[in-house]
Amino acid sequence: MALSLDTAPVGRAPRAWDFVRLKLRLMRNGLRGQAWRIVALVLGVLFGSWWALAAAVGLGFSGTASAEAGFVVATFAGAAVTLGWTLIPLLFFGVDETLDPARFALLPVPRRILTRGMFAAALVGVPAMMTLLGTSGLAIAAGIRFGPIEAVVALVGVVAGLALGVVASRALTSAFAALLRSRKVRDLAAIVLALLASSIAPLQWVVMSAADYGSLDQALSVARILAWTPFAAPYVVPFDIGEGRWLAAAARVALTAATIALLARWWSRTIESAMLGTSSTPPARAVAGHAAGPVASLYSTVLRPLLSPTRFGAIVARESRYWWRDVRRRASLISILMASVVVPFALNFAYAGGELNGQGLGTTGFGFAVSIAGTMGGLLLANQFAFDGNAYAAHLLASVPGRLEVRARAVALTLVAGPIQIAVVVGMVAWSGRWEQLPTGLGMLATFFGGAVASAAILSVLAPYALPETTNPFAMNSGGASAKGLLAFVAILAAMAICAPMLVASAFLGSAYPWLILVIGIAYGGTVAWLGTLVAGAILDRRGPEVLMAVTPRR
């Protein structure tokens, strides 16, 4: 590794600036010769700047609003920034590992300089710059409301707030690093984080409806409390100064400084455990041996009576286990299933005019909501070969026929996700009490699940892409891979197009002949899936080695 540290003359201790240079160098080398990465970076910067500018202008205009409103905006914006910086890196643990503390483990860098350098390097980056740009709107607001002195104070406050967020995020991630290194804990964390991530959307509604119904007074009382927490304290100091509350200003400055100091101390304590890296794991704990034979133990108790010990049965058994045992699969399964619960309910709300009147949707709207859920379920297969990385080589070496392979995987997903999705539809019907919609709903679910399985199966053999080999179940590749990931939208459109006739049929016949829709829907979805896997299997037979190469992570 070409550390720019070794360009330093012998005997000079590294300074924080060296870390910044190292990070810039690593970023530049990462871009070298990778046109798509440059494009992704430029797009990211443009997109980020657009949002940051919008935020800056919006926050700037808050300077013309009433003093109370301005105070509320400043506290909420500040708290959101700090909270975001603290939590998002935990959610996406290891997202910015351009400078991984573990890589410095063998270098004689004093801990104090290391933390200082890592801090400086963390500030150099698109997210930090965008945050700073966005929140600088608060300085403009303070300038408009009070004057130049308060504007400068606000600017200092914005920088301090960012510093607080960065230190908090670093301290937390390095504190959790040791914990997250154990596979069991990581698997558990994956579930919790998947639930957290998928509950963001419902949480948003709660906040938005609260904003609709709540008043400025309520917000102000929340803001007053927030302003005395480190989350928002640095952002409201200009209000104290502008309104002459000198003591409060001093207290908030002290609160901010103390929090940063304490977090920095904590970070510098925990960074050593993060530096130990993944070099050692405790020995695996052995549990008592096989009661059943190896073949029988491959099949879970539920599946054993259903599946024969054949190639097809073995793949279905292994796949259905993997949807739970593999962290990354479980994360996407939970997120998508949560989404397929949330989206239909959201549509339900929207049609009912935001009121929780429990009237439910008309038959067509209901069918549409359910069809989205079914599509999302089937789409889990869109990059199915990448989940196992190059373990797919075992199938290739055993020359598993493509059609059998693709169909077994589709059957396994149906066994895992099907019952949950059916339960969602039944739950929605039970909630609205319109049981006559149940057959239509289930019919549409089967249709669109089948359609999505078909298009996802074909996509998965035509455009597979490697997922990074990482401990973070949420890590996604940036750039080129996400370009391929966008093809999932094509698959959605294809599935929708394939299944559109059924949508029309349900609109015209759904009310009159619901059971007919159920029967036709299952037949339609089944046929489409059968045909799609036929095509995908034929492609896989020709492209097996290419699929393997595409899903092999670059090392």
Partner 1 sequence: MVARTGPPSLSSCPRRTAGSSRGRTVYGRRRATVKAVIALALRGLTKGFDSKIAVFEVDLDVPAGSFFGLLGPNGAGKTTTLSMAVGLLRPDTGAAFVLGQDVWADPVEAKRRLGVLPDGVRLFDRLTGGELLAYTGLLRGMNPAEVDARARELLDVFDLVDAGRTLVVDYSAGMKKKIGLACALLHAPRLLVLDEPFEAVDPVAAALIRDILHRYVAGGGTVVFSSHVMELVEKLCSHVAIMSDGEIKTVGPLDEVRGGRSLEQVFVEVVGGRVATGHELSWL
Residues that bind partner 1 in the complex, under the rule CB under 8 A? 183, 283-290, 293-298, 309-311, 313-315, 318, 321-322, 325-326, 388-391, 393-400, 545-546, 548-549, 555
CA 215: distance to chain centroid?
32
Give whole-number Cα distances, 319 to 12, 57, 380, 385, 450, in Å: 56, 50, 13, 11, 18
- Least Å distance, CB 415 to partner 1, is 17
In the complex with partner 1, the residue whose CB is nearer, 112 or 542, is 542
Give the residue carrying structure tokens 């239509």.
Answer: 440
Of 442, 445, 449, 436, the C-alpha closest to 513 is 436
In the complex with partner 1, the residue whose CB is nearer, 109 or 316, is 316
- Least Å distance, CB 503 to partner 1, is 38
- Least Å distance, CB 486 to partner 1, is 24
In the complex with partner 1, the residue whose CB is nearer, 278 or 399, is 399
- Least Å distance, CB 398 to partner 1, is 4
Structure tokens given for 151:
């504007």
Residue 100: DSSP 8-state: -
In the complex with partner 1, the residue whose CB is nearer, 90 or 298, is 298
Give the number of residues written for the chain.
555
- Least Å distance, CB 292 to partner 1, is 9
- Least Å distance, CB 12 to partner 1, is 19
* CB-based contact 137:56 (threshold 8 Å): yes
- Least Å distance, CB 404 to partner 1, is 10
In the complex with partner 1, the residue whose CB is nearer, 309 or 501, is 309
Continuous H helices in 124-232 = 126-135, 137-145, 148-180, 183-198, 200-213, 216-226
- Least Å distance, CB 102 to partner 1, is 19
* CB-based contact 86:78 (threshold 8 Å): no
In the complex with partner 1, the residue whose CB is nearer, 318 or 403, is 318
In the complex with partner 1, the residue whose CB is nearer, 148 or 283, is 283
In degrees and rounded to multiples of 5, residue 328 shows phi and psi of -65, -40
In the complex with partner 1, the residue whose CB is nearer, 108 or 293, is 293
* CB-based contact 255:230 (threshold 8 Å): yes
- Least Å distance, CB 297 to partner 1, is 6
Structure tokens given for 432:
């609205």
* CB-based contact 99:118 (threshold 8 Å): yes
Q: How far apart are CA 130 and CA 119, in angstroms?
A: 17
Q: How many CB atoms lie within 10 A of CB 7?
A: 9
In the complex with partner 1, the residue whose CB is nearer, 191 or 393, is 393
Q: Nearest 10 degrees: CA dihedral of 311, 316, 319, 321? A: -120
Q: How many CB atoms lie within 10 A of CB 31?
A: 15
Q: Cα dihedral sign for 10, 14, 15, 21?
A: positive
Burial class (CB in 10 A: 0-12, 13-18, 19+), 200: exposed
Q: How far apart are CA 116 and CA 554, in angstroms?
A: 32
In the complex with partner 1, the residue whose CB is nearer, 9 or 293, is 293
Q: How far apart are CA 447 and CA 464, in angstroms?
A: 25
- Least Å distance, CB 298 to partner 1, is 4
In the complex with partner 1, the residue whose CB is nearer, 148 or 293, is 293
- Least Å distance, CB 313 to partner 1, is 7
- Least Å distance, CB 268 to partner 1, is 32
In the complex with partner 1, the residue whose CB is nearer, 100 or 546, is 546
Long-range pairs of 266-269 with CB within 8 A, sequence gap ≥ 24: 266/171, 266/175, 267/115, 267/167, 267/170, 267/171, 267/174, 268/111, 268/112, 268/115
